[in-house]
Amino acid sequence: MEKQFSGGKILWLVTGDITRVPADAIVNAANAALRGGGGVDGAIHRAGGPVIMQELDQIRAAQGGCPTGSAVVTSAGALPARFVFHAAGPIYRGGGQGEAALLASCYSTCLRLAEERDLRVVSFPSISTGAYGYPLEEAAAIAVDTVCRHIERDQTRVREVIFVLFDQGTHDAYARALQRLQPAVE
């Protein structure tokens, strides 16, 4: 599924493995400790190789971890990208702990990092919907809304955002979120 924006910008929804989709930056659903993990995080470290963790070790030594809702940048190692943006998503605790704002901040921070580096193509997973338990429909709506608001701006350098979603159920939730939003971004 795709959504086109003025100026040739486009948002894609695809089902697949984020480590195989070429982009200028691949977003990793990381943990705040930046120590690697399962799911998307584990897949990115396996596919990208040890250089990514070596760079994260240096970041941890310099600043500690990564605050929830923020992101840090490493090279992409063997991944088909130039950078990995390691975004620390929120653990879902019922929705009353600022989780929505923190999740939106993950996406907007990564888009800001892309702008700062003059990148054109960014791929995102579904942040916080795995082990962190964020309800999929709510997370998809936040992700799609945040990204669409960014790429519909005239001054953005980002031309293409690809949501690379692990399975059909996740893809379907993002498609529903995009369909609900479409009248607002036409």
Cα(163)–Cα(47) distance, rounded to whole angstroms? 18
> Residue type for 122, please?
V
Q: Count of CB atoms within 10 A of residue 144's CB?
A: 27
Tokens 């982009």: give the residue: 23
DSSP 25-37: EEEEEE-TT----
Cα(184)–Cα(122) distance, rounded to whole angstroms? 22
DSSP assignment letter at 6: G
Catalytic residues: 41
The dihedral built from the CA positions of residue 54, 56, 62 and 65, taken in this order, carries a sign that is negative
